Amino acid sequence: MTPRAFLLVLVCSHLLAITPTAAAQARRPDEGGTTASLGQPKRWQPTTGLVGGIQTAGGEHAVATEVRLGAYTELASRVLGLGGVHAELYGGSLDTKAAGGARLRMASPFLRLAAGVDYRFGNGAWRPMISLVQPVRRGGLFRDGTVLRFDVLAGAQSAFLVGVETPVLRNIPTGKTRARRDYVPLRVSPRPPRNSDIASSAIRSSLHTARVAARRMQLLTVPWVDHTGRGGAGSDQTVLRRLESIRDSLTAIGGDTTRPAVERESQRYHEAIDLAFSLAVAVGAEPTAAAGNGAAPEPITTPTLQGRRVAEQARAVLLDEVLLPYDRLLGQDKRDDTTVPFVALARGAFLRWLHVESGVPDGAVEATLAVFSDLLDLVETLRAGAHREWGSARYVWLPLQLALRPEQHDSQAELDQLLTRATRQPFRDGNSVSYVINEQFQWQLSRTIRAARDYHVLWIHDIRGLDAQGNPDEMSFRHVLRSYYTAMTARVREYDRTGRFPTYVILLDQFFYEARKSRLWMTLLENPMYHEVSLGHEYRAWEDSLAVAQQELREAVNQSALLTAQRRQYGESWLRNLVKIHVNITNIADPTFWSWRIATGFPVPDTWMRDHRKVAFYDISEDDPNRGEAILTGAGVGEHYANLSWEDRSLLLRGPAALALKQAARDVLLSQGMTGNRIPALLQSRALSDEYAGRVEQMGTDGARRLRAAILQNGTGFSEKQITVAKAILYTLMPPGSVIKIPDSLWNGTFWGSALMGASLRGARVLVITPALVNAPARSFGSMIRSRELLWRLLMASKVWQGELAQRGGMLKVGIFNSDLPVTNIPAKVLGVRNTLQRHQWLHDLFDFPPSVYTGLEALAAQYATVPFPVPDSTDFEYRRFPQLHMKANFIASREAWRVMAREEWVEFTRQYVPRRMTQVQSRESAVQSFGDHAEPLIDVGEDVVRQWYAELPAEQRARVVFYTLLGSANQNDRSFSSDGEIVIALSNWPAVIPYLDLLSIIGQSKWVETPEELEVLLPRRSIVLTRVAHWFKAMF
């Protein structure tokens, strides 16, 4: 092959590699445009390659060149990449002679190895061969999935070949669907200049005091406490020694012992900083009249007014330029982990302020800047120490208390502002929210699909193709038939009147798409008018129902005069692009994306990090905040999410906060290689209408209570983690006396456990709830091992620190959801709340209900005890004997806010709630089978009482009433912390009565363990071998 021909083939292969799907116009599809989508990955994935090398035969060498065309298919899971078949044809030359052949190899993208046979055309020779591929860098050699491939062929005609192999003809781009870096680069060269050493011994002494206090503040904010990978009693003893060491550090802290240790150290730290700056700004000051001419100034022993002013500015710069930017990276690994890049900016900002605005005498500027530089060094020292303890930069958190006094983060407004600054996601007023429980999600999802008029997006982690028995999933079938087909047919029938047909979009991660066999339904939805689905003989009735729905859809299309005219105008392909569901399989398995930063000591492909977000929304518009709606959930589409043992929660959202979801959907499509001009027209970014702000204000005057809300996300893989950062801020800054209650199905995140230990030491009352083994929906050995270890640590911390917690009003309690009550037995849940709170004195004291509440709950349970309710049995969807806790929620309230729980009206709230919820469970069959008439989502109860309580509070107390509710897809595990894509809605201020009633029912069904032996019964210990594996891959559980 000539060099010119070789170059021509190289160019052509790369053009093939980047060929996109048909270009889409930036206009509505019903106006003649088309909608682009990623589609589904092909079963056979074509490749092309160019190769050069040496062949040896009979002692003679020949230069070999090849052009290859091949295809690969995975035999097991394409996500795992354990092994598949790669077949290829090649043609080229040996020196000047033409040569060609075929190869068949067994290849493993995971191992990057392949082995097979080569067959030469012409002489009919067979040769065994092995191959090694190397992507060189993330995304491949040319960021398009291209890899280097090395082949060794044995036999009489042995050869060594080196070349490139490129994926081609892919509708989903390769080399572009993951982050280019698996770290955040922080290295700065050259380092910023430093000031001269501080000469004043008084300043040095004050800074030493600040440094000691800061180290203790960090220790008591997020104390590193974790088991080692060894497992067993030795690992437990290591944890106990660490807990005892922290207790000893608490004992060594002086001051008013009625206040939390962190508060005392915070006061000591800030006073020392104020004094250091006061001393610095006084350097070179003129003698005062009191001192007399020529006399030395009086020594400064307490902070001065000017010193405090300078210190406040130093703290403000520290917060803005160092602490928030660095902590914003929590959950992401950092290369050359350091605060130096932020320090350089902070030093420059403070230097400018000193010269322009501070009023500090010129002679004191250098000393003042030196104190600030020492403060920055202090922060870097804390970072380095935390990195050594945690062993990874992704877990390092710099306490914001280094720049904030306690009174600067004890109100709703202050915390809202900090969350907004840290996550860069503002809270928006004017939202309405409804609470959705269990089976209601399936009905609400169907309703949103049928309600859409412009567009509908289902962005979810799980749409099951096959159920646990390997049969077609019935709930997915019902959504296909009664949600999507019903909606499409109805919109087509009214098309001549409206001229509009919604754009239906599905975003589904390939990890779950492969595991759940979702291709079965996705292929049908992509071609809803003509694809013939095959479900097997036992499901012939389902096939017939789908065939009828397809026929009705086709007839509606044919009967539409406008569609008929547009079909002639734009063509058949336009029509099929209009009347379909636009499927987008995201985060495809791409073997060029690997990292050493996921597991301990092992390179792991990025495919293990998946998009776990679960949200559906429709018609949200920049024109009107009242248009459209969203549902954020912890559930998915499948039988197991709709059975009578599933405990899950969702929130319906309407209002300005929902607009962030459109941007989120755009961002995920762009991250998957879709260019901006190919984003579906109705998801394109547009400016807010001139009337939008006025309509938001008007929503607040309609009499209905409107909430402040923000949408927070964790990006998939090595991306920004807004949820992680927001939780860290709340766990580390909520004031003493706050109550933090977190029910979650996967409770094993080490950082979260440590942060909540710190919260309890600051006087917060923490309740952690996780399911027992029999009540756990996900029971992988790694998750269960890490969960048992974390709960053991929390339990032992509450014992080792018992005196310190009692003295400061802190609490650290472990609840194991261990219920055998059907999720539909509402009266039994009410009675369970009453019994559990009376059984545990600390719960009785925490809620502080009047005695009338307990007698009222008992009477209410008796009143409804004989009312029938659906009971799970073996005929139910994927029947499980015990309820499965799948909740993912955070309920957080300050001390002043929690006092609302002490009102006697809670029994009346419950009396209003119970019959409404029982009406819902009694109509469950209609909700999950036909998506027919069903009770609406729960409208809140007791709102007038709560408003009156809030209005009657003194202004000083009202300012400190803080409520946060977080609900969505994010778990309390390491996966959600740093790896998976997640989404939550964060509600600021009082959310509603019903979520707290619901939380009470979870508390009432939990066993509050007091000893390790009780924990072992509910979450048994596993073998040391499995424990070590769980630690190696802890970021994956």
Q: Do residues 24 and 45 touch, judged by C-beta distance below 8 A?
A: no
Q: Do residues 456 and 618 touch, judged by C-beta distance below 8 A?
A: yes
Q: Do residues 840 and 1029 touch, judged by C-beta distance below 8 A?
A: no
Q: Do residues 641 and 878 touch, judged by C-beta distance below 8 A?
A: no
CB atoms within 10 A of CB 104: 14
CB atoms within 10 A of CB 5: 13
Q: Do residues 964 and 897 touch, judged by C-beta distance below 8 A?
A: no
Spatial CA neighbour of 42 closest among 515, 679, 519, 512: 519
The CATH number corresponding to 3-33+43-169 among 3.30.70, 3.40.720, 2.40.160, 2.60.120 equals 2.40.160
Peptide bond into 190 cis (omega under 30): yes
pLDDT recorded at residue 920: 73
Work out the burial of residue 124: count CB atoms within 10 Å of its CB; fewer than 13 is exposed, 13-18 middle, 19 or more buried. Answer: exposed
Q: How far apart are CA 623 and CA 618, in angstroms?
A: 14
Sign of CA dihedral 80, 83, 88, 92: positive
pLDDT recorded at residue 970: 95
State the pTM of this model: 0.93
| CATH superfamily, region 434-480+499-527+577-690 | Endonuclease Chain A (3.30.870.10)
Q: Do residues 14 and 168 touch, judged by C-beta distance below 8 A?
A: no
Tell me the average confidence (pLDDT) per consecutive run of 10 residues in the chain, 1037 residues long. Answer: 46 46 62 93 93 92 95 88 94 92 95 95 93 94 94 94 93 88 82 72 92 92 89 88 91 76 87 94 64 63 92 97 97 93 92 92 90 95 95 95 95 96 95 84 93 97 93 95 97 96 97 94 97 94 96 97 95 96 95 86 84 97 94 92 86 94 96 91 91 85 76 95 98 96 94 96 95 91 91 96 90 95 86 91 92 88 81 71 91 93 86 80 66 64 84 89 94 94 92 82 94 93 87 78
Q: What DSSP string describes 951-991? A: HHS-HHHHHT--EEEEEES--BSHHHHHTSBEEEEEEES--
At the topology level, CATH places domain 708-1036 in: Endonuclease; Chain A (3.30.870)
pLDDT recorded at residue 218: 92
Residue 92 φ then ψ, to 5°: 180, -135
Do 3-33+43-169 and 434-480+499-527+577-690 agree at the fold level? Answer: no
pLDDT recorded at residue 1018: 93
DSSP state of 1008: E
Domain boundaries, the chain: 3-33+43-169, 191-224+258-284+299-408, 434-480+499-527+577-690, 708-1036
Work out the burial of residue 97: count CB atoms within 10 Å of its CB; fewer than 13 is exposed, 13-18 middle, 19 or more buried. Answer: exposed
pLDDT recorded at residue 927: 65
pLDDT recorded at residue 868: 78
Contacts within 8 Å (CB) and 24+ apart, 139-142: 139/175, 139/176, 139/178, 139/180, 139/590, 139/592, 139/593, 140/174, 140/175, 140/592, 142/14, 142/166, 142/175
Instruction: Provide the token pair at 119.
Output: 């067959």
Rg (CA), the chain: 32
Q: How far is CA 362 from CA 261, 353, 365, 761, in A?
A: 39, 13, 5, 44
Q: Where are the alpha helices (DSSP H) in 429-538?
A: 440-451, 474-478, 486-493, 495-498, 510-515, 519-526
pLDDT recorded at residue 1032: 80
Judging by DSSP bridges, how do beta strands 113-120 and 126-134 pair with one another?
antiparallel
Could you list the beta-strand ranges (E) of 250-358.
Answer: 334-335
Q: Where are the alpha helices (DSSP H) in 720-825?
A: 722-733, 750-761, 781-800, 802-808
Q: How far apart are CA 382 and CA 212, in angstroms?
A: 10
pLDDT recorded at residue 9: 45
Q: Do residues 658 and 431 touch, judged by C-beta distance below 8 A?
A: yes
Instruction: Provide the token pair at 89.
Output: 């044809």
Instruction: Provide the token pair at 967.
Output: 């609900």
Q: How far apart are CA 498 and CA 1026, in angstroms?
A: 60
Q: How far apart are CA 713 and CA 691, in angstroms?
A: 28
Work out the burial of residue 335: count CB atoms within 10 Å of its CB; fewer than 13 is exposed, 13-18 middle, 19 or more buried. Answer: middle
Spatial CA neighbour of 822 closest among 769, 773, 760, 868: 868
Spatial CA neighbour of 144 closest among 14, 234, 39: 14
